[in-house]
Amino acid sequence: MELSHEKGLMKLRKIEKFQALVIRFITKIGKWLHFLLPFLLIGITVLAILTLIDLVVISTRLIGIFFGILALYTLNSIILYLGAVKTNKLLEARLDFERKRGRPIDALDGFDELTHHVRRVITLLKVTALLSIIATILFASMVLSKIIELGLAAIGFTLFALGLALLIRSLNLNIYDVNGLKDFYKPTIHQIFLDNLFSDVISNHIDPITHLRWNDYILGINDILNPTFIKKVKSLEKGERPITFAIEKILYLYYLKAQEVLQEERFIAEIKEVINIESETFDLEKGLLIEGKWYFSKKDFFSLFEYLKEHNPGFFKIVDKLQIELKDNIEVFAQEKIYMDTSANEVVFKGNSLNVMIYLFNNSPKSKEYHIRVIATGFDPQEFKLEIRVEGRGSFKIPDHPIPLTSSTETDIVGVMSDMLENGDAIWLTLKPRALGEQSLQIFLENADGTIIEGRTRNVRIAKDLKSQMKKLTSIGSILGGIAAPLSRAFFTP
């Protein structure tokens, strides 16, 4: 069984390496060549047609340049096709590998939507590449046979291929990277009640393939936890798992590092308090070693944070405002019975979803029941009410005096924040915009008897996604141009 697993892993890594090489070329060079070279080919062809209608009159030097561009365009088209084939092969190989080891990825939420978008891009890449190769054959035949109609047909195929290329959602088919398929995935389902704010939000935003690596990461970090950290958590948080507090603190530390709040020396010192960074399976820059490959590096986490800011910016606003309260207002904060903060996208496109985040921290030892009432004008649902039991802080207490951001000898904001993110409860709501323009969002926190404790009103602007519409129009225009080019000879030639 072990030998079979190793052989399967080696085969997968081999496919992965080659696919990574091809996709990197396509994303960095290939896509630009595919958009630039057709215009050069069409330009030279149109020039030739205008020079002499019945014969293609081109100088010897220009013919050499033309065939050079043609060769490059053909090679690039072949690489595009190869990228599509290898991506499909890698996706199937990853699915097969995980299923054989008892982890069927296709059972995970969002996998079907993810593979639908990826396979659509694969199909578009294949068709685009084939149309481009046909176009190159027609271009070459036009020059060699001096038949103008072949040039017009070649222009048609080229414009058609260009139009299809514009429909491609993204070329970042990085199956091998952490959240490498983020351009093709958005949460189709997510937790409404979040117990561990940072880790729950992360796990709900990563693609299904990365989700398996995230589970491996948690298990790997659990194996290298600092014994002192384990002892501290168990003494303060009866019945809680140290790994949940560890992940919250690690993610928060990486976030502070991404914001350049922590210097490298302080960052290392803080991480040391949680895990054994001398372990052979962990590296501060590379991340955790999982099945012979490094995952969740510093760069990976920074990229994840950028992705979260783009799709759910309210999450970081909650984290940042909580940090401000602890830094500037901790004495008053320590006396509050319940802390609530809310956030939502300030602008959302119609057709997308509005993410609403609500964070609650019950500053009492025992859990309490609260109600959340939401009135959302211009959204669906327009009004609803949630009953939530917010867990108590247990023996943990917010300090009633100012504390430093980080410290190796005393309680600091990083430690308190990590505990609050784990001890607090959050609600993640998704609303559908139904009307354009400025809309209002009202959120009320109530006691179990309906008494309002606190309320917030937020304005949200619902706008049209003009960028996507322009991309579609450009694509349609190119496709229509591709159809019109070969027909023009028939209609406009006497």
What are 52-109's pLDDT values in tens digits?
544 444 566 777 778 888 899 899 999 999 999 999 999 898 888 888 888 888 888 8
Answer yes or no: do 24 and 120 share one domain. yes
Full-prediction pTM beyond 0.85?
A: no
Task: Dihedral sign for Cα 240, 241, 244, 249, please.
Answer: positive
Residue 183 lies in a domain: no
Whether residue 344 lies inside any domain: the answer is: yes
Same domain, 394 and 404: yes
What is the pLDDT at residue 53? 43
- Tell me if 191 is assigned to some domain: no
Instruction: Confirm whether 182 is domain-assigned.
Output: no
pLDDT at 49: 65
Contacts of 164 by beta carbon, 8 Å cutoff, 6+ apart: 124, 127, 128, 131, 475, 479
In a domain, 388, yes or no: yes
Burial of 76 (0-12, 13-18, 19+ CB in 10 A): buried
Chunked mean pLDDT (size 10), the chain, 494 residues: 71 88 90 85 73 51 80 91 92 87 82 87 90 86 77 78 77 87 80 84 88 92 92 79 90 89 86 91 91 91 90 85 87 86 82 84 88 88 88 82 80 82 84 83 88 87 67 52 47 42
Q: How far is 65 from 220, CA to CA, in rounded Å? A: 56
| CA separation for the pair 126, 173 (Å, rounded) | 14
Are 19 and 167 within one domain?
yes
Domain tally for the chain? 3
Of 280, 296, 311, which one is at a domain's C-terminal end? 311
**Same domain membership, residue 355 and residue 221:** no
**CATH at residue 431:** 2.60.40.10
Q: Are residues 154 and 13 in the same domain?
A: yes
Domain of residue 78 covers 2-176+469-492
What's residue 373's pLDDT? 92
Same domain, 28 and 85: yes
Q: Is residue 185 one of the residues assigned to a domain?
A: no
Same domain, 451 and 476: no
Query: Same structural domain for residues 300 and 390?
Result: no
pLDDT at 250: 92
Same domain, yes or no, for 306 and 317? no
pLDDT for residue 55: 41
Same-domain status, 387 and 481: no
Cβ-contact 16, 176 below 8 angstroms:
yes
pLDDT score at 48: 65
Report yes or no on 109 lying in a domain: yes
Are 155 and 206 in a shared domain?
A: no
Report if residue 192 sits inside a domain. no
- Kindly state whether residues 215 and 283 are assigned to the same domain: yes
Tokens at residue 223, please? 């194996």
Domain-ending residue, one of 260, 291, 311: 311
- State the DSSP code for 30: I
DSSP assignment string, 170-204: -----TTSTTTTGGG---SS--SEESSHHHHHHHH
